[in-house]
Chains A and B, each alone.
Chain A
Amino acid sequence: MTELSALWVYLSASPILSIVITIAGFLIASRINKLAGGSAFLHPVIVAIALIVAFLSLVGTSYNQYFEGAQFIHFLLGPATVALAVPLYDHLERVKQMFWPLIIACISGILTAALSTIAIVMMMGGSRETVLSLTPKSVTSPIAMGIAEKIGGYPSLTAGLVLVTGAIGCVIGPILFKALKITDHSVQGFTMGLAAHGFGTAQSFTVSSLAGAFAGLAMGLTGMLSAFILPLLVRFLGV
């Protein structure tokens, strides 16, 4: 027994354990999602987070200990964000064609998402940290976390809430499109990518490749513009 606990002490100090837990948790979560028919409520990322949090609480490992190893996976978010330039470049022709409608819709969407969030949280008496962590909720995670850090929210809280937002958008979006009689797939895709980032993009690709391409475009454009607009907006509002 003492040998076993000595081994555990050694393992929990090494980055390998965190990395193994993260990848294993994600693979199990993907399997669970597939079994549930790919439901947006059981998105692999959200299930993986729940599994890993449960495991860490069970064995009494703190988040800091876990992150010491998991940061090697986390680090890749930086180059992955830079990599978003490639799909954006691929759709450059479409962007040029619909440039102004897309820019106007994008900026309106970003302002609507941020202002409605700030207003609702403040009206319901949420704390300042909650407001600032929620403001970038519609922005794709790597960028949203950077924004949260810049404006004074908690990046880790933002990351989790961004993921929940994505799942909510995937549930509400199709219902709204039907109610508003929006049938154009490029409009549907762009709207999903703006409000529900990567989750919306993944779902749009199941509708049609046109919807998916526009969702990816909206995700990149929203991320880029939000990174410039939201810090200025928060400073301007004096939140």
Chain B
Amino acid sequence: MVIPIFWRKLFKKMKNSEPVNNNNKNQSKSSNSYISSYLKENEESIREAFGNSADLVLRKVKIGANQNINVLIVYIEGLIDNKLMSKTVIKPITTFPDNKLKSPSPNEIHNKLKESQLTVNHLTEVYKLEDILNKILDGYCALIVEGTNKALLCDVIGFEHRPVSEPINESAIRGPHEGFNETIRVNTSLLRRRIKDPRLTIEELTLGKIGNTKIDIIYIRGLANPKVLQEIKNRIKKIKDEVDSIQLSGQLEEYIQDAPFSPFPTILNTERPDRIVGALYEGRYAILVDGTPYNLIVPCTLGMFITSIEDYTQRFFYGSFLRLLRWVSFLIALTLPSIYVAITSFHQEMLPTNLVLALAAQREGVPLPAVAEAFMMEIVFEILREAGIRMPRLVGPAISIVGVLVIGQAAVQAGLVSAAMTIIVGLTAIASFITPIYSIGIAIRLLRFPIIILAGSLGLFGISAGLLAILIHLTSLRSFGVPYFEPFGPIILSDLKDSLIRFPFWAYRTRPKFTTHNSIRQTARLKPKPLRQEEKEIEHNYGDD
């Protein structure tokens, strides 16, 4: 095995020349041990565990009647809030009232500190060096009083992070303008603020041999199906101590998804807390990964990728219109270039005479066959798109000029590309960006190429064969036990209310069928209308009281 050797070299200090055991985490022998009553030993062990890193701070303070008792303060610079630290930890220690206790024992000092002196919000007592190491990495500060074999951990977490800001890639006009950031605790707070109920459960796991990434599995007890939770945990447990680290939610997605080779994503990623909240109310699970603003929702269906918060914030007519628009664009993005290729090279009789003559006039003198032209232009567009995302902001205008002028206008004028084809490619490109979740757009763009080839070789027959294959594949997919193509395959009538079109909120009597057993959402009589006579009387009586 190559990896363990490499590994050992890299972390030989931590490993203390012990033979590497892959299943163990990063604790060396010394860090597994208990806290020593000699400060010097503790100091050395901690220093050794961190390889004497520059940001590790070990400070000794003398307290007690004769200033003869040392207290070791350990923290990592940059992970703590300096002001908070000096106010709630350093100041209480340095102003320790030594006169009340005559020659206090170290244990008495420890207890005094723990019970009344320290003014931090959150304080725990630990006995193992391992706990100190893990906690100071989270931004805690550890205190060890000389002569005791326990430590106090104070919560003084405070590090730089991006503020909660507008979601960058999933914007909405009327929806909330808060998006996740890279800090998991901030993200869970965004969810807590929206679901004020103790049944909102957050289970935390730590993943990775090295990275110790925090993963939060979030659900609403009583709504979510416990079997799905078990399945999520099983899949995560499999990789928990095997992977080096999980840095991105995309990485976790690849490890735990149902269909690793499918072009369709079976786990939804989003940077919108409101989307996750909506999913939680449907009995789904959210998986938050520390360090990334994109968090995961399981189980998910294809329809969720075509859904935007805008469908719900606007009134249901408009919401339904948007849905239909997106499904149509979904199909356009998938098939428009191939339909154009098929019709111009196989089925000229399908178009009205004037249109067919106009198209023929456009193609006059174009050197490539339509299928090659379509393929080439699609590739060119993909290059432009990628360049547009990847390039430095300042050269942006240059790319647009080159893209528009050279590839669009000049190529058409030079007769290398037909104008109709640029229209088709442009329309397709715009349609492929209408999907609210970027990852489904990628799936469509990838599938477009095989369909173009099928259209160029077999015509409409090829397109229908390709679409049929995609349909069969879609209906065979599962996401954590839930059919991916639900409610269309299998057809679930009650779930169709929130699929191609969106019914008004008062019409949703049930929750999605497959995600929860707690299926009744609300009663049926919620449609707004004038009160009936009996109801009015009741109202009136209330008024009298």
Query: Do these two chains interact?
Result: no
Task: Using CB atoms and an 8 Å cutoff, list the residues of chain B in contact with chain A.
Answer: none
